[in-house]
């Protein structure tokens, strides 16, 4: 089967996992913390809900932890690749993972 015949989900480089985990993000030039909820996660990125608008191309450092306190947490440098929503409804961000941090 050629890649043309495959469905979109099969063309992804990484499988997307649905999750619901708290996320803290910091802008590289700011000490403030932005809170959000990670809705899905893959090897290449994540989808995040937040009440804060963040511009396309902005780099952040994020930390995702389990609601149940399980380790390890994910600590990564990401870039905003997609954004939608409003201040009233909240924002949905597509974040591209640039680097997994230790």
Alpha-helical runs (H) found in the chain: 8-11
pLDDT computed for residue 9 by the predictor: 52
**In CATH, what class is 14-100?**
mainly beta
Determine if the pTM surpasses 0.85: no
- Strands 17-27, 33-41: pairing is antiparallel
pLDDT computed for residue 43 by the predictor: 86
**In the chain, where the domains are located:** 14-100
Residue 74 and residue 28 in contact, taking contact as beta carbons nearer than 8 Å: no
Q: What does the alpha-carbon distance between residue 78 and residue 58 come to, in Å, rounded to a whole number?
A: 8
In tens digits, the chain (102 residues) has pLDDT values of 444 544 555 556 778 889 999 999 998 777 789 999 999 999 899 999 999 999 999 999 999 987 666 666 899 999 999 999 999 999 999 999 999 997
Beta-carbon count within 10 A of 91 CB? 18
**Beta carbons within 8 Å of 68's beta carbon, 6+ residues apart:** none
Q: What does the alpha-carbon distance between residue 63 and residue 2 come to, in Å, rounded to a whole number?
A: 38
């Amino acid at each position: 089967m050629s890649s043309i015949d495959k469905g979109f989900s099969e063309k992804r480089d990484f499988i997307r996992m649905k999750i619901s985990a708290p996320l803290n993000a910091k802008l590289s030039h700011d000490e403030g913390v932005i809170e959000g909820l990670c809705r899905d996660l893959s090897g290449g990125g994540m989808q995040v809900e937040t009440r804060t608008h963040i511009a396309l191309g902005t780099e952040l450092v994020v930390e995702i932890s389990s609601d149940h306190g399980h380790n390890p947490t994910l600590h990564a440098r990401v870039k905003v690749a997609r954004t939608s929503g409003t201040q009233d409804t909240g924002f949905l961000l597509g974040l591209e993972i640039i680097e997994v941090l230790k």
